[in-house]
Amino acid sequence: MTAAPRTSEYPIDKQFLERWSPRAFTQQPVTEEQILTVLEAARWAPSASNLQPWRFFYGLRGTPEFDTLLSLLVPFNEGWAKEAGALIFIASVTTFDGERQNITNSFDAGSSFMSLSLQAHSLGLVAHGMAGIEYDKAPAVLGLPQNLKIEAAVAIGHQGDASSLADFLQTRETPSVRLPLSDIVFNGHFTGEIKAPA
């Protein structure tokens, strides 16, 4: 399936428009090499004071690790992400010494997510972020210490055909649009109002 064209108001690298988050995957496996490659990209994300608070957990489809991560998704996500080639959970370190709070842990982990998403795209894979996680269950199942916070999960794989999805998901299987720059960018100070996406 090819993505419908997205357009930008200013010329940008095509990867930013081409990357999107499909839910349909083919059965083609994702290799450990590919997962470690996307995580290598994530490793090079910037972070406050270079604290690198991100920590990653992955499982390849067909392994017990995948099944464990899958069981930590909410049923809606489990329904389609079970066909992904791999799952990644992103956690972040909230404090390194028990006292000093790392206030940008989530922001930095988000940067690592974008890096891995774009690296997946450049490998010909697709990556789909998920916050629909059983956040209460995940720390115990993954054996997390108290200062490691689950941020989000990612389904990665080879893009499949929308027809493989449940009916209600097929119409949503298309690249989304964005708010115009004029709604989100302000020269110096805030003007107007907060506009929500349609």
Residue nearest to ligand FMN according to CB distances in the complex:
132
Give me the 1-20 binding string for ligand FMN, x by CB under 6 A, dash otherwise. Answer: -------------------x
Spatial CA neighbour of 92 closest among 84, 83, 103? 103
Is residue 77 near ligand FMN by the rule CB under 6 A? yes
Is residue 132 near ligand FMN by the rule CB under 6 A? yes
Q: Find the length of the chain.
A: 198
Residue 145 CB, nearest approach to ligand FMN (Å): 23
Is residue 21 near ligand FMN by the rule CB under 6 A? yes
Is residue 129 near ligand FMN by the rule CB under 6 A? yes
Pick the closer one to ligand FMN by CB: 49 or 131.
131
Q: Tell me the site size for ligand FMN, rule CB under 6 A.
A: 11
Q: Using CA atoms, how far apart are residues 57 and 3, in angstroms rounded to an integer? A: 29
Give me the 158-197 binding string for ligand FMN, x by CB under 6 A, dash otherwise. Answer: -----------------xx---------------------
Residues 47-76 that bind ligand FMN (CB under 6 A): none
Is residue 130 near ligand FMN by the rule CB under 6 A? yes
Residue 109 CB, nearest approach to ligand FMN (Å): 10
Residue 3 CB, nearest approach to ligand FMN (Å): 9
Residue type, 178: R
Contacting residues toward ligand FMN, per CB under 6 A: 20-21, 77, 128-132, 152, 175-176
